[in-house]
Amino acid sequence: MEKKVLVLNLDHSPVGIVNVQKALVLTLLEKAAPLANFDYLTIRTVDRNFAYPAVIRLHEYKNIPYKGVMLNRNNLYKRDQHACQYCGAEKSLTLDHVVPRSKGGKTSWKNLVTACHRCNTLKGDKTPEQAGMKLKILPFRPTLAYFLAEYAERHAEEWLPFLAAKTVG
Ligand SMILES: [Zn+2]
């Protein structure tokens, strides 16, 4: 799999992810400079080899409107590590309103969790307290840096030092 490149703003806040071709173009045009490379990878062209960037930083501050993480099924599953937040099951997953909609529970990051069908049915139209069920974590609204750190742990450890301070938000 081709490695992606993390792009940081001038102030080191993460801006997003680009493919390596785009990262090289930004570097060659001197719009960005590499901060870290994937040391075990190289980019070969006909007559030269390039270091394979892992993290680049833009030379100019880009004013980027805050891009929240979209509230949707996939991102909720991702936040919850694809596991039921009551029993830890990783199969037959659905979404659960912690405070049921019938009791005024909102459709929001803080009131939605991943649950297996079994727990979802057991819980029914009750709150976790009423159903005697305990959540593994309190649901939270993830930041872009949180998702990037998740990705980095699996695919790009080189990014982690640049995300560490920014994973709580
Ligand atoms: Zn469950």
pLDDT of residue 150: 85
Instruction: Check if the beta carbon of residue 97 is closer than 8 Å to that of residue 120.
Output: no
Residue 66 pLDDT level (bands cut at 50, 70, 90) = low
Task: Say yes or no to pLDDT of 139 above 50.
Answer: yes
Which among 130, 69, 119, 71 has a CA at the least distance from the CA of 96? 119
What is the mean pLDDT of the segment spanning 20-24? Answer: 94
* Interval between CA 99 and ligand 1 midpoint (Å): 16
What is the mean pLDDT of the segment spanning 46-73? Answer: 87
| Structural domains of the chain ordered from first start | 5-66+143-166 (no CATH), 73-131 (1.10.30.50)
Task: Say yes or no to pLDDT of 135 above 90.
Answer: yes
* Interval between CA 137 and ligand 1 midpoint (Å): 13
* Interval between CA 92 and ligand 1 midpoint (Å): 9
How far apart (Å, rounded) are the C-alpha atoms in residues 84 and 64? 34
* Interval between CA 146 and ligand 1 midpoint (Å): 24
* Interval between CA 112 and ligand 1 midpoint (Å): 14
Task: Say yes or no to pLDDT of 67 above 70.
Answer: no
Here the tokens at position 70 are 């979209």
* Interval between CA 48 and ligand 1 midpoint (Å): 54
pLDDT of residue 152: 92
How far apart (Å, rounded) are the C-alpha atoms in residues 44 and 34? 17
Task: Say yes or no to pLDDT of 62 above 90.
Answer: no
Ranges assigned E (strand) in the chain: 5-8, 14-18, 32-44, 49-58, 93-97, 112-116
The residue among 13 and 31 whose pLDDT is bigger is 31
Task: Say yes or no to pLDDT of 43 above 70.
Answer: yes
List all residues 6 or more positions away from 83 whose beta carbon is below 8 Å from its beta carbon: 89, 90, 93, 114
* Interval between CA 108 and ligand 1 midpoint (Å): 20
* Interval between CA 94 and ligand 1 midpoint (Å): 10
Residue 168 pLDDT level (bands cut at 50, 70, 90) = very low
What is the chain's length? 169
Q: How many Cα atoms occupy the beta-carbon half-sphere of 123 within 13 Å? A: 27
The residue among 146 and 55 whose pLDDT is bigger is 55
* Interval between CA 71 and ligand 1 midpoint (Å): 21
* Interval between CA 131 and ligand 1 midpoint (Å): 13
pLDDT of residue 145: 82
Instruction: Check if the beta carbon of residue 73 is closer than 8 Å to that of residue 95.
Output: yes
Phi, psi angles (nearest 5°) of residue 93:
-95, 150
